[in-house]
Amino acid sequence: MEPSAVSDEKRLTVDLVRDKNGTDQVLLKNPKGASVKISLHGGQVLSWKTDKGDELLFTSAKANSKPPHPVRGGIPICFPQFGTRGSLEQHGFARNKMWLVEENPPYLPSFYSTDKAFVDLVLKPSDEDTTRIWPHSFEFHLRVSLALDGNLALISRVRNINSKPFSFSIAYHTYFSISDISEVRVEGLETLDYLDNLFDKERFTEQGDALTFESEIDRVYLNSRDVVAVFDHEKKRTFLIKKEGLPDVVVWNPWDKKAKALTDLGDEEYKHMLCVDGAAIEKPITLKPGEEWTGKLNLSLVLST
């Protein structure tokens, strides 16, 4: 977890801090002033700010930040199950567990550390509760990095240290902060098939050129291209979502009725958030004993004039 220096005066920094509940968090900063905050509870990215201090991730004002509750916002990790597609609690257990900072992580090829502040976290099935509901031996290594250009990257490596195969689904449930849901469009999902969770996971094909929003949406787009863009017209900015090893994309906004039913989301907050997730859901990933899977999500911001 050592920071990398870029000059004597300006450095990439990695600091361990605590929130009001005493939960350990890691704060990454680059020399320009951009920052990322990660909670060890859930291995969840809670904040991603530009060098001007603009928050790019949405977190509900009503979010419960006290463990074991997951925080409504940021980037919770759904593992080893997404939604209710399985026998586990919704979205699996990773977002509810305490992760550890890993001082000597496994070597990660093609990762250049000189221009990034980063931290390595690890989740292992260390309690009886986890092994009882999901009886598999695994290691989940998560590297979160903040680059000099402000890009945020999450690299996940899941390793099977069991004597038998297991399968899992995964999603980075990313809550983007937006001006207004009616001012946003998503590109990169055109002509794709998707599973509609509002219609019992029925399969449809996207017909429109770009995705715009006028009502509740809860879809899993299948086998998408590796780059998806979220355009926010009012704020004149675009989020670019680049992914590797994550074939699917989840798009979710609860809209007004469901927002009122969620106790940890304000009635009107749905207007200022949109979840667009890099994910592997339709075809779960199967690992044989000793095998490892790697997935990567890279988020960047493009400003327009």
Give the architecture-level CATH label for domain 13-303: Distorted Sandwich (2.70)
Tell me: is residue 90 an annotated ligand-binding position.
yes
In tens digits, what is the pLDDT along the chain, a chain of 305 residues? 544 434 334 689 999 999 988 999 999 999 999 999 999 999 999 999 999 999 999 999 999 888 888 899 999 999 999 987 766 778 889 999 999 999 889 888 888 888 999 999 999 987 777 778 899 999 999 999 999 999 999 999 999 998 999 999 999 999 999 999 999 999 999 999 999 999 999 999 999 889 999 999 999 999 999 999 999 999 999 999 999 999 999 999 999 999 999 999 999 999 999 999 999 999 999 999 999 999 999 999 999 86
Instruction: Report residue 159 as tokens.
Output: 């390793």
Where in the chain are the domains? 13-303
**Confidence at residue 9, expressed as pLDDT on a 0 to 100 scale:** 43
Residues 175/180/181/187 CA torsion (nearest 10 deg)? -80
Residue 85 labelled as part of a binding site: no
pLDDT given at position 21: 87
Rounded Cα distance, 70 and 262, in Å: 13
Q: Is 39 exposed, middle or buried (0-12, 13-18, 19+ CB in 10 A)?
A: buried
Which H or E run contains 217?
strand 217-221
pLDDT score recorded for residue 304: 83
Dump strand ranges (E) for 245-290. 248-253, 273-287
- Report the half-sphere exposure of 103 (CA within 13 A, side-chain side): 0
Quote the pLDDT of residue 87: 67
What is 89-101 written as a DSSP string? STTBSGGGSBPEE
Nearest-angstrom CA–CA distance, 28 and 36: 5
Residues 6+ apart with CB under 8 A from 304: 236, 237, 238
Closest CA to 249 of 268, 223, 269: 223
pLDDT of residue 262: 95
pLDDT for residue 6: 40
Q: What is the pLDDT of residue 8?
A: 34
* 203 annotated among ligand-binding-site residues: no
Predicted TM-score (pTM) of the model is 0.94
CB 14 within 8 A of CB 28: yes
Per-residue pLDDT at 7: 38
Partners of 239 in the beta sheet?
230, 301
